[in-house]
Amino acid sequence: MSKTYVDGINVPHPKGEPKDAADAQIFHQGRTAALNGIGEDDAPFDQGSDERKLWSKGWASVER
């Protein structure tokens, strides 16, 4: 599992490095939601999109 830097903190990324800025923003939002104690149901994205669902630790689940 590779690592990617988000907000200067080393965070494991489930499927390699973000492919672009939008992908990196999804991970940033997921990590921020987790740090702020926001659950999946409260996260500000479309919960029907696999790319925008959060893991319990705050990473977006990306199926590619």
- What are the tens digits of pLDDT across the range 19-61? 677 766 766 666 666 666 555 555 455 455 555 555 544 555 4
pLDDT confidence of residue 33: 61
Query: Mean per-residue pLDDT for 9-28?
Result: 63
Domain that holds residue 35: 3-52
- The answer to whether position 7 is within a domain reads yes
Q: Of 57, 48, 46, which is closest to residue 27 (Cα–Cα)? A: 57
For the chain, what is the domain count?
1
Question: What distance in Å separates the CA atoms of residue 61 and residue 46, rounded to the nearest whole number?
Answer: 13
Q: Is residue 11 part of a domain?
A: yes
Report residue 10 as tokens: 């080393």
Residue 61, in any domain of the structure: no
Q: What's the predicted TM-score (pTM) here?
A: 0.24
Report how far residue 60's alpha carbon sits from residue 19's, in angstroms, rounded to the nearest whole number: 13
Residue owning tokens 């740090």: 35
Determine, yes or no, domain membership for 59: no
62 close to 15: Cβ distance less than 8 angstroms:
yes
